[in-house]
A = this chain, B = another copy of it.
Amino acid sequence: MNKFDVYEEEFFVTTEQILSFSNSTGDTNPIHLDPKYCEGVRFRTPIAPGMLISCIFSKIISTKFPGPGTIYREQYLKLSSPVYPGDKLIARLEVDEIDEEEGRVSLKTTIKNGQIIAVEGAAKVFLAKVFKRPSKIKQKNLTNKNKEFKV
Chain A positions within 8 Å of B, measured between CB atoms, are: 17, 20-21, 24-32, 37, 40-44, 49-52, 54-59, 62-63, 68-82, 116, 128, 131-133, 142, 145-149
**Structural contact, B73 and A132, CB atoms closer than 8 A:** no
B26 near A17: Cβ-Cβ < 8 Å: no
- Told that A24-B24, A31-B131, A42-B133 touch, could you supply 14 new A-B pairs with CB distance under 8 A? A20-B20, A28-B63, A29-B70, A31-B68, A41-B131, A51-B54, A72-B79, A73-B78, A74-B76, A74-B78, A75-B75, A76-B76, A82-B149, A116-B147
Question: With A51-B51, A55-B27 known to touch, is A43 a contact of B75 (CB < 8 Å)?
Answer: no
Judge whether B74 and A43 touch: CB under 8 Å. no
The oligomer's copy count stands at: 2
Q: Within the assembled complex, what's the spacing in Å between the Cα atoms of A149 and B75?
A: 21
Chain B residues with CB under 8 A of A28: 59, 62-63, 68
